[in-house]
A and B are shown apart, each in its own frame.
Chain A
């Protein structure tokens, strides 16, 4: 008799979630030509009760992450196109000197990422724009005219309805997902209380419920629901004539981690300052159980007591008015991740199962477009490697890690995060076999994807005196935070004698089997059909010819290749290779990350040290550069690979994890008569690399730039097919729009006379102070910065358009509100230090 809505039995794709993200995805999938899309949400439309429904909906475009800024700018573009964006401007105000410096840094990022019209304001100028501010409590503000407020529920409805009008979408509100079925590692069906939907693709866009839904398929989306508190007060007499939702600039009171925005005749006060209040996805009440909505938890006033006072200090005339009451307050739930980045992409556990979670309103439509492009075209226009779900290692997915890091990270939402800042919670998760020795040597440990690794060694402190001013000491606290002159002393000593470096965090995986050569040929740009015992450094490209990764591959046998890549991107590299394994099983991937350790030995004396421990021929002729083979070192069999990331003669020594400590002791003792010192990653990752002009993935190399622009094209392209080849061949025919350059700072003195040292991401300007953009509109900014002690310079890497990519040309870099002269020292990849590579090839 009654007709309950039934789910279709077949779909191309099921999108779970009808918040801003789910609605954006269904629209962009439809726009790119997919049909038979089904959208499921357990709540009603248009507000199913998730975080979108209680979002503050304002957007500040500037972020220190390029990826997040690009997603935000793309989202703003779409919101404007839909007519749901109201521009009102916004000011981030500072109450402390340290925050003023941070606001200058935000100015830098705004210039680097092409956000126009931003300016630093005096307290009086802030008050001029927002008269209800008390300008006595602030030192200044960072003004962004393009800040605005969106109607995210309306935007979601518009996008959903557009997909429906194209007959591409069936939307099922009030429909609960009971299970997700997986067949042979591939998602196959979504079971709902309205029936089972067989499908090829499933997207989890369920915000803070996502972990619970992913678990149904055996996948992990490591995020936690967390509380963000807000209250609305009103009616405010000052806003009595307000006609619109938003007419006054939004204020972010950065030092108190709060914001205040006019909302019609009211004022909304929000906070990220309170204690981290975390829930589990399974704990969130249902729509029926919740008094308001599931993600509007009861307000806990005691957590907001201090915030009340802070708000009253900043806006005494409004917040301090006893006649203005609190109309609404809630503990709104949102999603937090252990590293603060969204969780996007196909899950590594289940093919066809995608995550689009931990996304803010400001990124929603941009994420929807990017996920849809990634699913339909294999690649998104915006490089999403920072948000890629496959970045997580196993320990990252544990509840304890998520709780620890989100608890620590919550307060950083408006915090001042130094580029080198380390996490303090949940450390000592992955310890290298050299850990005890490193600790005994005073290793100062930084974390790399769970690994503890010395950034420098206190035992090398006496070298600072030895090298004197050549260590380029830094006096400004910000420049010297998370840094030590010992790093540069280690650098100079390594170039004089030798250094040993712990490289355990490498991700290592073997590709084996008759189909192995084809797999590595497909993934790698460089020729992989090489003699056994060759080590090849190669870029890995996206289909459109941007950088997907760069890594080294050793050929250990006819059907045996070993891929070695940085720990940070190791798991997404592993997924990329795994995704290119043949379906017939003729090639397999074996992950050796946790079974192999790597110790690097480099420097003029490296050969003497290693040779003293082996009977193998380690001479230049007997063990040429770019080769690898197993050698015996005492009772250990070690795979030695002669390559270098620091510009010195030496080897990476690979061996089973449990034998590492023995190797360390052997090398350390043998090295004593050769001046060997332990060297931290500060040298390996920055100084050693920058002097040699080596590019790093995630800094110089990302999907936005190509091999030609990076200056890494070789004369010939291999015959074999590889991902991105067609694009790469075309790039070689075209004039590059930008070229990777190495610049140095010619005068470090700030206005106060103190010498300042840039840390990265600063905009490069013309001598007139104008931002520089290439013909694609990509701004020039510092991709990496650091000391080059052997050159006595502070080096900056940056892409410059051809008219500025001229050696000897003078430009400016903006750093914390001041401009410093720089000169282009090198265009292209030829190293500034030892340009003919004599040291490496000695």
Chain B
């Protein structure tokens, strides 16, 4: 007796198929609409959340800028550099008395002891608190309003769902009618005819032959099994019949567009070449006569075929391409026709085998791709990009508009996939926040002010905030009433650039909007903390020290989108447009807080 390995035995069920119970479709159909609702709700929630975040940021900015404007207005006569700080009126007047110049209108950029009074600080804190409270109130209102939007949306979605449900019911009844119609089972036991059996669940097409047809019907009269046994010899003629035409013809059609039959049966057991070739395809050592019989006879003169679940022949005559083909024993037809048919069957089988191989290869590749996506839980990326610090609150500095400034940033980040959709990332980034102010009036201790006056001026300005590490420059507002009034001085104008460089550590959460084997689009949001590592002020391109008003640590929020494409195996190129918001770059002065950025980089998954 022929021997085989365990794997060979089980390879016969490689393409095992079985008709699922009919009620499963009803369950699937029922559930098909449910996730849609979930999806719609999720979209609304996402939109609401995005709106909330966006509005919170905008309102924060709005209040910030309003606060600045108000303060600027309030202190118009007293404050030169448009500080957020609410300077007390007493201090400048005192200064006024003590200085030869009208120093209440003057801002000095000079290194000195910090003489900002406690009172000022307290005022500042209160003012900040007030702003925060007001923002919180605004946020609450917005939240409420958003909830209303959501509930409206939900109700709208509900209505939609009801409509779709009723539609579905209609469709269901139609399907039921259709199913009833299709459940008709025809079984022709005539020796020379073929029958077509089509059920609503299996669409199996069946033939019956004369010798002994064993029909095994499963639930609800759905015919899914058909086995044929024959012991006819070479003289028996076999014809190919195309099942769905219910008439015998010797044509084998392999048309891609002709539907995909899941149960194709080939029935032949004549002891001749066709049987041999078919047996070969059918891994023909295992067969059954009936479903519940465990062992069927297998001998040299009789071949038994089980088409019950289409496993055997389906493996070769794959359902993808062919209509059902049956091979009927028919003594009335001639041998030539049989040989032709046989050849066609063989060709079809060979084609199908090739196709199966290709399909299996595709499947395996697909599986690999999926695995690779899941496998790359971690990724490390390097990136660099350009950033543009923007002024969205019409903020002014020294009476001039603050302008945007382009800088660069670069960093490294690591990303961990929590699941297919969500990921967290962190890393380090060197980033620069900057601003420019054009046509700033200033006085230079060395060049402009006479030595005596300069000394007097610098020494006798106790109320002046010293915000730079260089004491030799005095900046004045461009406002006419704030200019330094002294015949002894000639004010110059220049462009003032400020640049703050931070070492930032962001913490972001990412949501994958789209993910394919090659490309991905993600939406990222989160916050960052930055440590100041460089602080420079440039006057007409020359460094004049740093700003003393800066905070050593800065906080902010981020919103970005990552567009990623796999260029090599596990290596992705990405582009990341985004926006950062810096909460507190300077203690009191106005500074650009918004920053647009465009990063480019590569990351490596592992």
**A and B together in one complex:** no
Listed in ascending order, the chain B residues whose CB lies under 8 Å from chain A are none
